[in-house]
Structure 1
């Protein structure tokens, strides 16, 4: 189970921090939900399933529960999740207003060809398109004032931002893992009304450039 997100900013002390050391409190579990179709990059391109506040600042998420040091043999559910892995496609939106994420190849093609988003070439890894035991639900929200998107693992943060009237809920983007074995820890960082998903190793450098660390959002597979 996850606790409510807190509004404090997490500062990266060292690149070697583990998920367990990322925060004293954790997100409330979003539970297992069927994938919802997003509204669409005006409303957004179609996705497979898919926070500064009304003033532009969202509540800061904190770390999911850390995996135990010795992971058990993969369960049938974990094996099923591994068969449903899709690459995280990352884009800079038109006018470099923000960042956009999707697991859908069709949505990625539409983002590039129709909406003129620019693909970011480095890899963030892979997420599952289906929920599984130990999965973390990643919700995607669109910021209404301009083309900027936010990923959150907190259902309460999602609901609060949508209620503010400044965000549109675009559903579930995918599912990350609580287990670190063979995976990469992903974090969310924020710069005014821009939010980005980055690898843990990139956070310290971005913080020095003026970005705020919003905390970890789960582990992504390194390969499908």
Structure 2
């Protein structure tokens, strides 16, 4: 078998970013052309080059998640290539490496990553397997399957996580005194001053001083979940975010996605009070965060071309420079585009306008931070369109209501929806979609109210389980293949709620933790107050 001389990843930029990746990343197994020989790599870039230039194909083998960088108790994993072939061997023995290189049979390609020398919570042994012509690695639970295929165990290598899904949620920073539209509508319809929880509080109907909504035309429905476990709050206060961070991180969530808006009249960001409260929270280091840009085509929410540079400067200078900003497995900083139709002065943004903004943001990150970004467009808004048309690297998904009132259909269609998505894609699930708390103060026509008629937490469990199955079977070459976003943490006006509430407690977070097998935290703390 002839050698393919795989090009190595560009280290000048990647090495700096990868040094900041402090979480396990998937060990990707690539099958050589002809079906003999396996390439193992932690680099999506290298795997993609192997596929595109040399015909390698990613395998869905569970080879575990390794660390890019050394840590206390780590064991280095060396990668060697059998001279003149596409066959690779991984070794944790310096002596074995030296002997194989010394006799001229193998070329040492350096340290690929690290495993733990001793067992740790949630970890499984990584084993090396061999047959008459190649070596493979996989977690121990794969041993019987590989033995049935004719492989023998060639020895243990160390301990790795068999799965490492990073899950997060969209955070709606609208429950604070800056929510003028809700406050004004609540005053008009419910005759209460200064209340940014209008509709939610009224449909809940049990809060002191608030009568059940007289406009509720769904009298037999149970809205008793419409109160947070920590009570109705002001998310401009760091103390609120401290409780949310405790709730989320204790359940194993890794990040929040904050929506971000620009004020085209003032040529500066709109008040980002929830993000600032997150940054000021005393426990903010417990979670990562990302910014998702909403440039809507109406009012002063647009970002005209003349403001692209200023908006990029604000994003990079305020958020992308934070140490706990969300990174992909290759170290790139993740930025979302929830709506890019307003990335021009008249609200009719074309692909060229979006590409111009993305280019400005990339250039600012390189200039100010020496960092690369990974841009994700909103797949719901442009299903079937290659995100590269907009200058994006991939897509994320959110609620996907599709004007169908069936949550059963939503869950059943998940696999097909994910299969049709771009290669670089962050999977998602919506806990629910229910606009009824918006009637009548925000939506006056009840016939325009949308909600799932058949949503249950058990269906949600099925949906989350399907996400894990899809990741486990994946052959995507994506630096975010194990990231999952939930809609939403606290969209109380739309039913997208995984934040603990007074009726369900931690039920939704418990489902996410168990179905995705998240290992962070000790289990959901509904009160938001960490045990002392």
In the TM superposition, residue 218 of structure 1 has moved relative to its aligned partner by 1.2
For these two proteins, the number of residue pairs brought into alignment is: 154
1:199 equivalent in structure 2: 139
Higher strand residue share: 1
* Deviation for aligned residue 1:81: 9.2
User: 1:103 matched to which residue of 2?
Assistant: 42
Alignment partner, residue 430 of structure 2: none
Q: Map 1:24-173 to 2 at 5 A.
A: 42-47=4-9, 83-173=22-112
Mind listing any 5+ residue stretches in structure 2 that lack a counterpart? Answer: 12-18, 167-532
Q: Does 1:188 align with 2:128?
A: yes
Distance 1:114 1:82, change over 3 A: closer
In the alignment, what sits opposite 2:158?
Answer: 218
- The TM-score normalised by the length of structure 1 is 0.63
1:65-98 CA-to-partner distances (Å, cap 9, x unmatched) read xxxxxxxxxxxxxxx9982422111111111121
Distance 2:75 2:9 in 1: 18
* Deviation, structure 1 residue 112: 0.8
1:17 matched residue in structure 2: none
TM superposition shift of 1:152? 0.4
- Contact 1:125–1:220 (8 Å) recurs in 2: yes
Across the aligned residues of Structure 1 and Structure 2, the Cα RMSD in angstroms comes to: 2.3
Gaps of 5+ in 1: 1-40, 50-79
Tell me whether 1:174 sits opposite 2:136 in the alignment: no
Higher relative contact order (CA 8 A, sep 6+): 1
Q: Which moved further from structure 2: 131-140 or 120-129?
A: 120-129
Q: CA deviation at 1:182?
A: 1.3
Q: Distance in 2 between matches of 1:211 and 1:114?
A: 29
Deviations 1:100-155 (A, max 9, x none): 10001110110111111011024323111111111111000001132100000001
Alignment partner of 1:114: what SS?
Answer: helix
In structure 2, relative to structure 1, the CA distance for the partners of 1:129 and 1:161 (3 Å cut) is same
Contact 2:129 2:136 (C-alpha < 8 Å) held by counterparts: yes
Tell me the CA shift for residue 193 of structure 1: 2.6
Contact 2:33 2:56 in 1 (8 A): yes
Tell me: CA distance 1:97–1:116, structure 2 relative to 1, closer, same or farther (3 Å).
same
* TM-score (norm. length: structure 2): 0.27
> Contact 1:81–1:128 at 8 Å: present in 2 too?
no
Per residue, is there more helix in 1 or in 2?
2
Do the aligned partners of residues 183 and 81 (structure 1) sit closer, same or farther apart at CA in structure 2, a change above 3 Å counting?
farther
Q: State whether residues 62 and 142 of structure 2, in contact with CA within 8 Å, keep that contact through their aligned partners in structure 1.
A: no
What secondary structure, in the 3-state scheme, does the structure 2 residue paired with 1:174 have? Answer: strand
1:159 match: secondary structure: helix
Deviation at 1:48, TM superposition (A): 8.4
| CA distance, structure 1, for counterparts of residue 144 and residue 111 of structure 2 | 28
Match for residue 493 of structure 2? none
